[in-house]
Amino acid sequence: MSELKSKLHTLCHDYADQRIEAARNAIAALQISADEETKSSVGDKYETGRSMMQLEMEKYSIQLTEAIKLKETIGQIDTVVQTDVVRPGCLVRTNQGNFYISISAGLLKVNNESFFAVSTASPIGVKLMGLAVKASFTFNNKPYEIQRIE
């Protein structure tokens, strides 16, 4: 694996880890809050608060599940094999920017260069998958041409 792809891969792992930690911390904070909640004399207010807390707990549980899936996805990406077509683990350089095909982690910066970490299911990832160097396509009314695949 090139040093650049290794750094991008590590940044994607870190992104997934941060999402997992944030969701776990939010769930823990809600659990502490729920444990400290005492039933007030106004029953409806208490029940409404508990219901809202339960909805928040479900929201963070979904976020945690999604973050764990991101971590699993990035762990399964093979970044060593060289290929002539875009596939997961590839670094794709186009005339409109650089893309790391992995997970949707947004903008990553390495060595003063910008890269967009995109999943194969993202709109741009779908367009890129399977294309070779010199292939062109249009995305959001912009012409793209693949200049290099690493």
pTM of the model: 0.84
From CA 34, how far away is CA 131, in angstroms rounded? Answer: 51
The reply to whether 98 and 133 lie within a common domain is yes
From CA 4, how far away is CA 100, in angstroms rounded? Answer: 10
Overall average pLDDT of the 7-11 stretch? 95
Provide the number of structural domains found in the chain.
Answer: 2
The reply to whether 109 and 54 lie within a common domain is no
Domain boundary among 26, 44, 76: 76
Domain that holds residue 97: 91-149
Domain boundary among 76, 100, 115: 76
Residues 6+ apart with CB under 8 A from 123: 139
The reply to whether 9 and 54 lie within a common domain is yes
> Residue 41 has what pLDDT?
45
27-41, 69-83, 121-135: range with highest mean pLDDT = 121-135
The reply to whether 72 and 7 lie within a common domain is yes
